[in-house]
Amino acid sequence: MDINIALKKYFGFDSFRKGQEEVISRIVSGVSAAAIFPTGAGKSLCYQLPAMLLPHLTLVVSPLLSLMKDQLDFLLSNNIPAARLDSTLTGEQYNKIITRAVRSELKILMVSVERFKNERFRNKLREIDVSLLVIDEAHCISEWGHNFRPEYLRLPDYQKEFGIKNTLLLTATATEQVTFDMCRRFNIDSENVITTGFYRDNLFLNITPVRDAEKKEKLLSDIGNAPDDPTIVYVTLQKTAEETASYLAANQINAAAYHGGMKNEERTDIQNRFMNGSIACVVATIAFGMGIDKNNIRRVIHFDLPKSIENYSQEIGRAGRDGKPAACVVYGNKRNLSILENFIYGDTPDREAIFQLLKEIKENGKLWETKLIGLSRDLNIRILPLKTLLVYLSIEKIIEPKYTYFEEYTFKYLINPKEIIEQFKDERKQFVQTILENCHSKKVWTTVDIGTICSVYQTERQRVLNALDYFYEKQWIDLHAGQAVEVYQVLNHSFDPELLTDNIYRLFREKEKTEIQRIHNMIRFFESDSCISKELASYFGEKLEIEKCDHCSFCSQGRMRLVSEDELKGLSELDNLHKLSEIKSLLGPLGTSGNLAKFLCGLNTPLITRLRAKKLPGFGFLEKYPFKEVQNWIESQADCSVSSQCPEAYTHERSESQ
């Protein structure tokens, strides 16, 4: 079928948008491609339409599965058989979806990258023919990208393992370096990379210097000009979102806060009310915006500096989708610079922790099993950097990921266990009986002891799993997998742990440097000596033909300088001394200078969560100070003393996602 006819037939659209036809024609003729279009430009159609024309399943991987609901709803409303495997599904729903995929009844299946490690899913995926692997937010695969997701590095292997011929990469924010990197991994030729450009002539990009103390008033007056215009205000910290929204609300602005620390229902409610216009202004951390498809947002205000040019571009990209003018204002002030930088330092593991891990691996046998959450806690490394560390070790050929299994399966009986046994005869009956006899029932949940079953019955783990799956398909039980155990093969036991620790630590320090550089590039960009729109386009590899855009602050007012506030008090001048050694002893064996500095800078780590240290005096006390300075200062303190009085009163609640 011709793709133009298919467009009308399946989606009711009259014409393609820019870039879509180029991408779709490649994909339907069996050529892998990458689509780099700005947010809202219509990337999803680039897989949705081919999915209808390709013989087998289209498998879509997204880091934001929960936010793909809109896409799923869109597909279902067009009667396209599509489904999403997410963690909220009941066993019955999960099975139904898998069965439809195996029977080739589904055209599109959306999964998270973690799903590939699930042994039950992997077993099923081998039975499913997949025509196309789609990777949404594909920049996550590149370490040069602003949102590197270590698990994404496994995707090229999965593609081979499951025999998927073609790939489609989708992203809105990729520099030339990132594009090159992601395409190289999937063997996509540069002629199959379709970029539509980022330039938006209806966005007024305004960088305006504002002192820290004057930001709130400035915000109120900016919004007060047109209080009903849909507006997003971006801030760095959750507490700033709360405070600022309250301040606006107290001044008769119809505003609400939105951040990762709020309950899901509350967030959904705010988002819905913003979408339907009953809230005019949302003051949010970066947790807000993904999947927001509201076309009449008139203002995006960066109350605090964004995290990177990529983030900036994505965040302002939500404004003015209707093509009408919209204002994108950055309050140029360097006050939150240390906070942004400290987030990065907080993700660099301690050298000691890396060493400890390497020793554990070295002393381990051929198969190394680990639970990420426990490991993260033991080493005091946040989950994301821990995953990065494991990826580094597999790149160094020390370990190789094999699979994930669930140590524990639990289920709820939906019928009486006796009835289940009665369904079988002879040997199978015995087997089923053995399984159920070796399950331990509590009030509601029953735990399966797979290890014991295997040894008692002298059988394979797989057979037990198949049986459980069968019970579940028959709706005799509702099955849940417990904590995941990651299994790695140790490829090399003869490494020198000291030497390798140095190497790996260096990689983290380089990564840290790149990330810090990213922030400084952004500052340079805001302060740039030429048209902001042109600079932004060129950052993403697009050359604008125009001399100046006439809708940015450079074109209207010239170069901007961000405000540098007065110097903070020198660390040695802080009074009200409080024993650093107390915090140190609280942190126990993990009380290194790095971990102490993380505590004082208010950076969340697994250790701090475990000790509930956020509530202790001194946590975040030096939040506005550069991490390195704090760490050096700690190391120089012979008497180990710090001030106990917080300079400002605030609550801390930083989550992984903000």
Cross-strand pairs, 576? none
The residue assigned the tokens 């107390």 is 582
Residues 37-66 that bind Mg ion (CB under 5 A): 43
Position 110 contacts ligand ADP (CB under 6 A): no
Minimum CB distance to ligand ADP smaller for 60 or for 339: 60
Interaction pattern, residues 4-43, with Mg ion; x per rule: CB under 5 A:
---------------------------------------x
- Nearest approach in angstroms of CB 15 to ligand ADP is 6
Binding region for ligand ADP (CB under 6 A) out of 41-49, 326-334, 423-431, 507-515: 41-49
Interaction pattern, residues 214-243, with ligand ADP; x per rule: CB under 6 A:
------------------------------
Q: β-strand 33-36 against 193-195: which pairing, if any? A: parallel
Q: How many CB atoms are closer than 10 A to CB 73?
A: 11
Interaction pattern, residues 276-315, with ligand ADP; x per rule: CB under 6 A:
-----------------x----------------------
Torsional class of 27: left (φ above 0), alpha (ψ -120 to 50), beta (otherwise): alpha
Among 40, 81, 541, 591, interactor with ligand ADP by CB under 6 A: 40
Size of the site for ligand ADP (CB under 6 A): 14
Residues 46-75 that bind ligand ADP (CB under 6 A): 74
Position 194 contacts ligand ADP (CB under 6 A): no
Among 10, 28, 34, 42, interactor with ligand ADP by CB under 6 A: 42
DSSP assignment string, 437-464? HTEEE-SS-EEE-HHHHHHHHT--HHHH
- Nearest approach in angstroms of CB 137 to ligand ADP is 10
Number of residues that make up the chain:
658
- Convert 375-390 to b/e letters by CB count within 10 Å (16 or more is b): bbebbbbbeebbbbbb
The pair of three-digit structure tokens given for residue 330, joined into one six-digit string: 């950055």
Distance CA 532, CA 551 (A): 9
Residues 90-109 that bind ligand ADP (CB under 6 A): none
Sign of CA dihedral 306, 540, 513, 169: positive
Among 33, 41, 174, 597, interactor with ligand ADP by CB under 6 A: 41
- Nearest approach in angstroms of CB 174 to Mg ion is 14
- Nearest approach in angstroms of CB 43 to Mg ion is 5
The pair of three-digit structure tokens given for residue 491, joined into one six-digit string: 């490829």
Position 3 contacts ligand ADP (CB under 6 A): no
Among 43, 267, 387, 518, interactor with ligand ADP by CB under 6 A: 43
CA distances from 73 to 49, 77, 80 (A): 15, 6, 10
Minimum CB distance to Mg ion smaller for 35 or for 223: 35
Give the CA radius of gyration of the chain. 27
Binding site partner of 291, from Mg ion, ligand ADP, none, Cβ cut-off 5-8 A by kind: none
Interaction pattern, residues 8-27, with ligand ADP; x per rule: CB under 6 A:
-----x--xx--x-------
Distance CA 32, CA 167 (A): 5
Minimum CB distance to Mg ion smaller for 43 or for 146: 43
Position 44 contacts ligand ADP (CB under 6 A): yes
DSSP assignment string, 16-59? PPTTHHHHHHHHHTT--EEEE--TTS--THHHHHHHHHSSSEEE
Q: Where are the beta strands (DSSP E) in 333-476?
A: 367-370, 399-406, 409-413, 439-441, 446-448
Minimum CB distance to ligand ADP smaller for 48 or for 356: 48
> Residue type for 180, please?
F
Chain residues in the site for ligand ADP (CB under 6 A): 13, 16-17, 20, 37, 39-45, 74, 293
The footprint of Mg ion (CB under 5 A) covers 43
